[in-house]
Amino acid sequence: MIISDGKWVKDYYDENELHFYRKRKSIFKKKTKFQEVELLELPAIGEVLIIDEELQSAKMDEHIYHETLVHPAMISNENPKKVLILGGGEGATLREVLKYQSVELAVMVDIDAELVEFFHQNMPHWHLGAFDDPRTVLALIDGKEYLKNTSHLFDVIIIDLTSGFTERMQEEFEPILNLYSKEFYALCKSKLAPDGIVAVQAFELTPLDWSEHAVLYRTLSSAFSRVTSYSTFIPSFYTNWGFLIASDHIENSELSPEEVEHRILERGLTNKLRSFSGQNFLGMKSMPKDLQSNLRRPGTVIEDNKPIKVYPKEDNQ
């Protein structure tokens, strides 16, 4: 939780840990029907985007997060032409997708039309014109409703929703919880092309804090036969952040660093990526033995009629 108080910003990591940042200024603050947003400038880490009192992104390292979310799935697909993004309001996920010349259609679905338009007009240094690309289509509606009604089959679906099961999300905007359920992932699967792949931002992933990631891993595994977990360190988050890619047809973990590099070169991405590489992706998939064991344990699977609100003790121990 982020609390902006006078000259200082307090980042409550949990009930036992607190980080302080000196605040230079508040660039803008806005409340929409769905969320509260503030863009702050902090001398230590630059511009940071706060949504519902949670740090969502920092300009200094957002490329690490967005490249890690987007490129493993995009590189794994042989020829991504149609891509669906659920969430990603500031446009940086869309920016990364549009780096691929093969992409003919990039649909970004976000329920908060007011905020997306605000990002479009006021944060061009984040989206770099992605909203104005002729391949971009914005659908400013609920993600599940879009999937139910679209006739498109997508090569890649990227789910870039809020960074945790926050208290406000649970109490005030419960429909978003159903965008994490096994039924929702099955719906995503039904809208994939035969060799399609899904990528999901999947919360913190460390040997001490892995429960949310594990729940998503199990839930995604209920819909797909091949699920790969990976993570990278995000400096502004002060932790390793987890991601998941899932498919029934692509074995992502078998892509060698050399093959990833070949595809990066072949697709003209060498000078467009600041963080992601073949060796980088290999390292992302490596995790300690105890963490691997925790992810394989049985436990909670999210269902529409049983949305996750409070984790059972066995999911956290």
Which residues are designated catalytic? 160
d(C-alpha 105, C-alpha 146), whole Å: 15
54-58 β-sheet, strand order: 25-31, 36-42, 46-51, 54-58
Q: For residue 142, say whether it is annotated as part of any ligand binding site.
A: yes
Q: For residue 129, say whether it is annotated as part of any ligand binding site.
A: no
Cα-based torsion angle of the residue sequence 212, 216, 218, 223 in order, rounded to the nearest 10 degrees = 170
Sign of CA dihedral 119, 120, 125, 127: positive
d(C-alpha 241, C-alpha 247), whole Å: 21
Q: For residue 90, say whether it is annotated as part of any ligand binding site.
A: yes
Residue 2: strand, helix, or coil? strand
CB 231 within 8 A of CB 210: no
d(C-alpha 202, C-alpha 209), whole Å: 12
d(C-alpha 38, C-alpha 30), whole Å: 6
Q: For residue 175, say whether it is annotated as part of any ligand binding site.
A: yes
Record the tokens describing residue 242, joined without a space: 């987890």
Cα-based torsion angle of the residue sequence 298, 301, 305, 308 in order, rounded to the nearest 10 degrees = 110
Q: For residue 110, say whether it is annotated as part of any ligand binding site.
A: yes
Closest to 221 (Cα-Cα) out of 151, 295, 161: 295
d(C-alpha 252, C-alpha 246), whole Å: 8
CB 18 within 8 A of CB 12: yes
Q: For residue 72, say whether it is annotated as part of any ligand binding site.
A: no
Q: Which residues define the annotated binding site for spermidine?
A: 66, 90
Q: Which residues define the annotated binding site?
A: 35, 66, 90, 110, 142-143, 175
Q: Which residues define the annotated binding site for S-methyl-5'-thioadenosine?
A: 35, 110, 142-143, 175
